[in-house]
Amino acid sequence: MVSDIVLLREFPDIIKDSIAAYVGCVAGAVLKGQYLEAIRSAGFENVGVLSEDVFPVDLVALDPTAKAIIEGLHLSEEELADLVHSVVSMKVEAFKPDPIHAG
């Protein structure tokens, strides 16, 4: 089982290029589909998403790193909410076959 930050859609380049976002694990996050495919490519089977949790907008707005990024983007409340809801904490379960006992 693993938990990580993934994106539901691509972010604007200004966020991907931001050092502050990178430190906050957002700029380096990949799209959900790419993340799940990487797990499968590593030889895991029965890959399943156990949960996806969106971060509350007010929590993100209080984070100093997120606040600095947001201020530089000049987003409306609606644009901010859309952006925040594109980042989820995802818990994934998968199994790696035992090569000794594999049929």
pLDDT tens digits, 70-87:
777 777 778 777 777 888
Residue in the structure block whose two tokens are 């790696």: 96
Nearest C-alpha neighbor of 86 from the set 31, 38, 33:
31
10 Å CB burial of residue 77 (0-12, 13-18, 19+) is exposed
Q: Could you report how far apart the first and last alpha carbons of the chain are, in Å?
A: 24
pLDDT tens digits, 41-65:
999 999 999 999 987 666 666 777 6
- State how far the Cα of 62 lies from the Cα of 102, in Å rounded to an integer: 50
Domains of the chain: 2-95 (3.40.50.150)
- State how far the Cα of 46 lies from the Cα of 62, in Å rounded to an integer: 38
